[in-house]
Structure 1
């Protein structure tokens, strides 16, 4: 998947690191909240990118720790990174929201269950909004946090606010005495 390639190559463009370090950075930056990426996919992707010549692994041993591969970007990897940046930036935007599978099927349920489903989605959106608010407040004054990372958090927050407004309009179609 090109997105995972871009995430891994982008991290290695900044500095050499092992697959474990990439995985920890993905967790720390909460990248999996806005891009479909998993821990096993990072390890697998590192091996694939090395096979393709985009990254090079050097085996290092630090102290009493076991040996590990530390990956760095090759010239071909740098070109691939730039190619992927341009390719992905030029693609049409698709916003996939898993809960839309529930929304398109609401009319197949009794009103009470419809309301329960929408209330659950609303609760999860509020939870996400709180998480984003806390994350933004926690990271906004830390100079090591890249502006681009903050921009993604702010983008997610704006999307969550829009979804909240949309849910409120959706709930208006329900009879008020059953909410």
Structure 2
């Protein structure tokens, strides 16, 4: 079963305009959706087919000029209802933060101070570097919601880096 996030993104894209699975996949790529939702190209195709089976989308085979046939998907009324339902459910979910480096922090006292400092410094550099890369991408987004999402990501990376610096100082003191 697809996550609510994947369904919301697919149904939302179909609300914007009808599109083929290939166009949907490219839309996810252009919006950098894969930076914050785990959604592969096969998952886009699989979920579009499932949404059609569930009556949330319709697919029509079209042929344009000399191009091969393709299936263009449109959202149905049931799909719009499902989108609204998922948006409400997602907004009501408990807040959750999932950082892949937490096991490192949980076990940091099991390594030498030099190793611990080096690991934390690497985490800090990684988060600050990612924030800078994201900052560089923000101006390229025309859509305000895309810019706001990426700005939030950048701010989160910086916040994590600041927290890690304070954690390191609290654990080891100032060098």
User: Would you say same fold, with TM above 0.5?
Assistant: yes
Pairing partner for 2:90 from 88, 91, 99: 88
Residue-by-residue CA offset, 1:71-127 (whole Å, 9 max, x unaligned)? 100111011011111111111111111111222122222223222321221121122
CA-CA distance at 1:18 after TM superposition: 1.0
Compared CA separation, residues 120 and 40, structure 1 to 2 (3 A): farther
Partner of 2:172: 174
Q: How many angstroms apart in 2 are the aligned matches of 1:38 and 1:101?
A: 26
CA-CA distance at 1:169 after TM superposition: 0.7
Q: How many angstroms apart in 1 are the aligned matches of 2:155 and 2:174?
A: 28
Partner of 2:102: 100
CA-CA distance at 1:19 after TM superposition: 1.2
Q: How many angstroms apart in 1 are the aligned matches of 2:75 and 2:105?
A: 43
Query: Does 2:141 align with 1:149?
Result: no
Partner of 1:51: 53
Tell me the TM-score normalized by structure 1: 0.89
Structure 2 unmatched ranges of 5 or more: none
8 Å CA contact 2:131, 2:155 repeated in 1: no
Compared CA separation, residues 147 and 137, structure 1 to 2 (3 A): closer
CA-CA distance at 1:22 after TM superposition: 1.2
Tell me the TM-score normalized by structure 2: 0.91
What SS does structure 1 have at the residue aligned with 2:67? Answer: coil
What SS does structure 2 have at the residue aligned with 1:57? Answer: strand
CA-CA distance at 1:176 after TM superposition: 4.8
Partner of 2:155: 158
